[in-house]
Amino acid sequence: MNYFTEEKHYNALNNYYRHRFNSKVYKIALNGDFTCPNRDGSISRIGCVFCTDSGSGEFGGKVSDSLKVQFEKIKTMMQNKWKEGKYIAYFQSFSNTYGPIEKLRKIYYEALNLDKDIIGLNIGTRSDCFNDDVYKLLEELNQKTYLTIELGLQSMHDITLKSINRGHDLNNFVQTVKNLRKRNINVVVHIINGLPNENEDMMLETAKFLNTLDIQGVKIHMLYIVNNTPLARSFDRKPFPLLSMKEYINITVKQLRLLNKNIIIHRVTGDPDRNELIEPKWTLKKFIVSNEIDKLMRKNNFYQGDLYE
């Protein structure tokens, strides 16, 4: 089933949530004080070349606050925009299935009980941060709430995964998706456009590859360079080409057209911290980018999946 509208010719997350929960739904990004095997020395101490010191959780709660305090602070900000709605507790920073099973159980259930209007749990993590105990816990949670696991893939190309110091290969990712879907757990995949040395064909191949997986959602991001990352240091030494806004919009529209129309689109662009952003500056124009994607699809009568084979 798809949730296209006259304005959005793709399966936008907000439309899906409103249909499923009959309400505005927004995510509250919480910091569970996790780390990552790509940072603690298990795989590497460098991390992915684009990842920030916050584990790409710039807009989440402060780890020095309890989950309850984090939730209430962000909920108050959200209510300035929307007076009513339901919430999804979202563990975003770092790898949120990477830790002792006792900690995972405690923190997940604590999050679900923070507010009577929490209807789900989103857990951002890596495909190499699972074991049998974690799968069992997630299967248990999936029986109790609307559970979604968000997995960073970034690119289907192993040569790219190696160059960005991802720390796992495509086969590892594919197996994890299969293990999650075997337990009927929803999976959302993150991909990044504009990674170093990738051309348009490679980005489109990543989108087409997603159709071979049993996934329920996709987040499409633009590569941006922020302070205090390996990528920033590389860019400072030897600047490399970044996608223009027009290039990004055209590629993203093509990816949407290639994607199975039943996949929910959670994002069509990223959301950098303006105080840390180096380049490209246009990525700060989140709503303009989104609107231009919509306009291009409407103008040409393009729809998600109209090139899906």
Residue 188: phi, psi to the nearest 5?
-115, 135
pLDDT at 1 over 80: no
Contact 49, 230 (CB under 8 A): yes
Helices (H), the chain: 13-21, 67-79, 101-112, 132-142, 158-163, 170-182, 200-210, 230-237, 245-258, 286-299
* Confidence at 52, pLDDT banded by 50, 70, 90: confident
Q: How far apart are alpha carbons 232 and 210 in whole angstroms?
A: 29
Q: Where are the domains of the chain?
A: 13-299
pLDDT at 173 over 70: yes
Please report where in the chains the tokens 């080409």 appear, as a residue.
241
What is the mean pLDDT of the segment spanning 45-65? 77
Residues 6+ apart with CB under 8 A from 172: 127, 128
Predicted local confidence at residue 63, as pLDDT: 84
Residues 6+ apart with CB under 8 A from 180: 135, 138, 149, 187
Predicted local confidence at residue 54, as pLDDT: 64
Residue 134: phi, psi to the nearest 5?
-65, -45
Predicted local confidence at residue 55, as pLDDT: 54
Write the class of the CATH domain 13-299: alpha beta
Contact 79, 111 (CB under 8 A): no
Predicted local confidence at residue 282, as pLDDT: 97
What is the mean pLDDT of the segment spanning 235-245? 94
DSSP state of 54: T
Predicted local confidence at residue 211, as pLDDT: 98
pLDDT at 146 over 80: yes
What is the mean pLDDT of the segment spanning 143-159? 97
pTM: 0.95
Contact 197, 221 (CB under 8 A): no
pLDDT tens by residue, 11-44: 999 999 999 999 999 899 999 999 999 999 999 9
pLDDT at 112 over 60: yes
- Summary mean pLDDT of the chain: 94
